[in-house]
Structure 1
Amino acid sequence: MRRYAADPSRERGAPPVATLQGKTVAFLVAAEGIEQVELTEPWAAVEKAGGTPRLVAPEAGEVQAFDHLDKADTFPVDVAVADARVEDFDALVLPGGVANPDALRTDAAAVAFAKGFFDAGKPVAAICHAPWTLVEADVLRGRRLTSWPSLRTDITNAGGTWVDEQVVVDESGASTLITSRNPGDLDAFGQALVERVGAA
């Protein structure tokens, strides 16, 4: 039984055709403030494609997810950031939520972990407010991406090109960068995540 079940009421698009068999994907979150659906939906997409998702957070224990501003479920952490190694993963997913990436970008170890995927040329996927962590990691220069609209100035100031599109796949750097704007883009985000990680 899955720990993170996708919401069955959500309308699903076509199932991903790529396989993630043998691939392990890190989901990096803060201790609280994660937008729950932006964690559970990509997590379910990775599992459905045969991959192994792992929850990484600054501390061991549990993290608190939210449904917008209301507390939702808690989820067990698989590995603390201090013990996590980029070489143990094939890709990184950064869920959103306003407080989640705002906390992560003040955590030096979490920022370094995220940056490590770019340094290693591994795919990174970020949705909604999650690119805040990437702004802090200084990995957006020359990259094209999207996000929640309020991040536009931050991304531009960090050297990125912000666009308003459902999903943006930027392959101009060593690391493929996949971004989406909000929970309404989750189907396209999950499909692009599975396809790019499967091809990496």
Structure 2
Amino acid sequence: MSHLTGKRVAILVADGFEQSELLEPLRALREHEAGVDVVSPENGKVQGFEHFDKGEQVPVDVQLADADAANYDALVIPGGLFNPDKLRVDEKALAITRAFFEAGKPVAAICHGPWVLANADVLEGRTVTSVPNIRRDLENAGAKWVDEDVVVDQGLVTSRTPKDLPAFCAKLVEEIDEGRHRGQQRSVA
């Protein structure tokens, strides 16, 4: 079992995230002893959804305006339809996402989460997966899209839907345990 003691992870969300895609990675990271902050442009709490129904509210630990990629070892971007749609037009969210890539730190995105990566211009030449209906957006951003439960490419972990969460969480923990990935070619998992 990997231990992430001393590692810090930011989970970037806005209102409208898919609840399981935040809570399951959060649980997996904490089980492996990582410190995790929910980072959001929202104040107080963010609203989760279970598909189209309102779910739990999750407390925000750090305001996006105050967040710094240098304080974290990895970034997680949950999906849901509304969450990444808001984040992909938020310049601070795009800037912090780019900072993780520039530092070679692990980044994980699931479902619609890779929309944020497309708008941050970090997908050129990367192999990724996502919910199928954003495939064309990711390809237009320069990514090679594949239909797999989880894909790992140089520390970038992507998955399709909540049913892929076990594989997504396992690879997320593994990549954070490995650390930086600058210039290291990774294969599809």
Q: Structure 1-normalised TM-score? A: 0.88
Q: Distance in 1 between matches of 2:108 and 2:134?
A: 16
User: 1:121, CA displacement in angstroms?
Assistant: 0.8
CA contact (8 A) 1:60 1:78 kept: no
Answering whether residue 60 of structure 2 is matched by residue 93 of structure 1, we say no
AA aligned to 2:106 is P
Q: Deviations over 1:32-68 (max 9, x none)?
A: 1100000000000000011111100013311000000
Alignment of 1:40-189 (within 5 A): 40-171=23-154, 176-189=155-168
Where does residue 26 of structure 1 map in the other structure? 10
Q: How many residues align?
A: 179
Q: Deviations over 1:60-99 (max 9, x none)?
A: 3110000001001111101111100101000000000011
Q: Distance in 2 between matches of 1:99 and 1:139?
A: 21
Q: Distance in 1 between matches of 2:35 and 2:100?
A: 17
Is there any run of 5+ residues in structure 2 with no aligned partner, and where? 180-189
Identical positions, percent = 54
| Partner SS for 2:16 | strand
Where does residue 22 of structure 2 map in the other structure? 39
CA contact (8 A) 1:35 1:66 kept: yes
Moved over 6 A (4+): none
Q: Structure 2-normalised TM-score? A: 0.93
Q: Distance in 2 between matches of 1:66 and 1:114?
A: 23
